[in-house]
Amino acid sequence: MIISLTSIKLKGPFSFFLFSLRAMRVGQQLQTTPCKAFRKRGIWTTHYTMTLWNSEQEMADFVRSPAHREAMKGSASLAMEIRLHTYEGTWLPDWPEAIGLLEQGKVLRYG
């Protein structure tokens, strides 16, 4: 199985409102997928997600879904930084472990 971890640091507290709207749409899209497990956590300017998938293909299909694609197109206007870490595993980690793993992940920084 594939575990995907993400974090986003918003440019400021006012970005939270548009981010929340986009995240709600992505969450609705996620409910229509074969995602095995999902967790989210965050407040104001820092947010985290974890998902568990049967395969990389299922995860890739979700990444290309309309709501997720739209959210990613607008991420540069909202985010200072996005971190991604994907690996094979059988269940989602606890939050301290997930946050530590994200330190090893791919980093996208926006000006």
Residue ranges covered by each domain of the chain: 2-109
The answer to whether residues 110 and 75 touch, using CB atoms and an 8 Å cutoff, is yes
Strands (E), the chain: 2-10, 37-43, 46-53, 79-88, 106-109
Say whether pLDDT at 17 is over 80: yes
Query: In this structure, is the dihedral angle defined by the CA atoms of residues 55, 36, 84 and 11, taken in order, positive or negative?
Result: positive
- Residue range 69-92: mean pLDDT, rounded: 93
For residue 22, the model assigns a pLDDT of 92
Decide yes or no: CATH 3.30.70.100 for domain 2-109.
yes
For residue 72, the model assigns a pLDDT of 87
Return the percentage of the chain with pLDDT > 70, whole number: 99
pLDDT-wise least confident of 21-25, 68-72, 78-82: 68-72
- Residue range 48-77: mean pLDDT, rounded: 93
> How big is the chain by its Cα radius of gyration, in Å?
13
